[in-house]
Structure 1
Amino acid sequence: QKQKVTANPKSEGDYRLMETLSSGAMVMEDDMLFPPPGLKDEFNIVFYNTSTLIPKLTYYLEHQEIAREIGKEGTKEAFTHHLPPHLISRVLTTVANSLANQPPPDTAVLIEPNTNYNLTNRYRRQ
């Protein structure tokens, strides 16, 4: 029997979440402060917290057609916007936008390392 609902706790939007979304099952995920772009609660993923996990899980197990639709939308979102090339593109765009706001390289400031800091003393057993 194919899995219909899966929980993916404590991931904060890492790649494991995208793998889970691509499975076709409806994904239940801990509430996130900053969910990945494109994820919409109860459209392509279901967010929960400790007080809503059991009621939401019960609801979607009793309403499997709705769970299937959310799973399909989650899979579509994962394959349309969250494959490695999409992530690489977002990272490069972010870096390019960040660099656009920086001074040109010929006016950049060189920061010298602190040579007085001794790491060996920090990790030596007492």
Structure 2
Amino acid sequence: MTGIDVFKTRSKANEGVRIPLSTPDGKHTEEWLQIRSVWSDEYQAARTELVRQSIEDGRQAAEAGPEEAKELRKEQDRRRRAGAASALIAGWSFDLEFSSEAVTDFLLEAPQILAHVERIAEDGSRFFGD
């Protein structure tokens, strides 16, 4: 029988795991990201904010014309996704000051990294396995 502690994920989810980064062509680098789990406090708060922001963005899009609204929604979706994913990153090796804005900008310009971060953050075995 397992004890209750096996189900407690919060501290490991918040701590995250260090993941090495490769260039888009697959070359290994010295760079890394510290990625939190989707069950981390930071990401859960970002998800709540994401819902609130979606409602506000919908209001803005509704005020625009049909073509403008389509482009506006696309850009808003892209920014919301990067913003939420930035909450999954707890640190990095870059010589650039670490901040939520810097992480979001990085993810907007490196969508392959954004997708990689999302996949890792959803993989519970990386955080909670032996």
Same fold (TM over 0.5): no
Question: TM-score under structure 2 normalisation?
Answer: 0.29
Bigger helix share: 2
The TM-score normalised by the length of structure 1 is 0.30
More relative contact order, 1 or 2 (CA 8 Å, 6+ apart) = 2
Q: Which has the larger radius of gyration?
A: 1
